[in-house]
Amino acid sequence: MTSVPTPIPSRTQYVLDAIKHRILTGRLTPGQALVETELAAQYGVSKTPVREALKTLAGTGLVVMSQYKGVTVRMVDADMAREVYDVRLLLEPEALRRAVRRGASLDAARDALARADAATDTAERSLANREFHRALYLPCGNPLLGRMLDEVRDQAALVSAVAWATDPSWEREAAEHREILRLALDGDADGAASALHSHIASFVRRAFPSDTEPRPEEGHQ
């Protein structure tokens, strides 16, 4: 059988996945420069798939392309965090409410929660937490709603990575995840949605408190 050369899109996807993983697990930090030649050498590809991968990452809001500074990992500030989490607050609890009312399977959420609990490092925990949230909203019955939330999940993960670097709060969040899933599995759609709303809101308030409100006391929100 004649071997078929790997097409450029596959190489681009490989580079895209690798860079995204490093950003979302904090191995590439906000403001860090992403140099095409260095990345190409690191991943053993030409500059073309690297360039295409960086364009895609810019489209999802994970990197910024500047004529003067080149490509850098997106900086996270309070305004950016609140914008992203505001979208989640508007959409994600409603998606979960609909999923529970439909009687959708939440096995994927249960599995993701178990992987997060068993994680041995921040990278594994971060990826499992992302999958937990996605498993809650994806079976909502409205594919467009799911895609809209997918569009902000990378930026939300970037916010989380930055916040965790200064205040590792995943144990608190894991307890909140367990309560959200318990309510959902009990068929309490409104209770699960309310708990998810509180979970999302308390995280961004805790990690990026506004100048006009006091920092919340430690404890379950």
**Is the pLDDT at 1 greater than 50, yes or no?**
no
Cite the beta strand spans of 30-183 per DSSP E.
Answer: 63-66, 70-73
Residues 6+ apart with CB under 8 A from 26: 122, 123, 126, 161, 162, 164, 165
pTM above 0.85, yes or no: no
Q: How confident is the model at residue 219 (pLDDT cuts 50, 70, 90)?
A: very low
Candidates 115, 124, 95; CA nearest to 200 is: 95
Using a CB cutoff of 8 Å and minimum separation of 24, what contacts does 205-212 make? 206/163, 206/167, 206/169, 207/81, 207/159, 207/162, 207/163, 207/166, 207/167, 207/169, 208/77, 208/78, 208/81, 208/82, 208/163, 210/78
Which pLDDT belongs to residue 29?
Answer: 86
The predicted model gives 92-110 an average pLDDT of 97
* 30 against 170, higher pLDDT: 30
Q: How much is the average pLDDT of 46-55?
A: 93
Whether 138 shows a pLDDT value over 70: the answer reads yes
| pLDDT reading at 5 higher than 70 | no
Output the average pLDDT for the chain: 86
Where does the pLDDT of residue 33 fall: very low under 50, low under 70, confident under 90, or very high at 90 and above? very high
Residues above pLDDT 70, as percent of the chain: 89
> What's the whole-number mean pLDDT along residues 128-152?
94
pLDDT at 2: 47
Question: pLDDT tens-digit profile of 156-208?
Answer: 888 887 777 776 667 788 899 999 999 999 999 999 999 999 999 998 888 88
**Each residue of 124-133: pLDDT tens digit?**
888 888 899 9
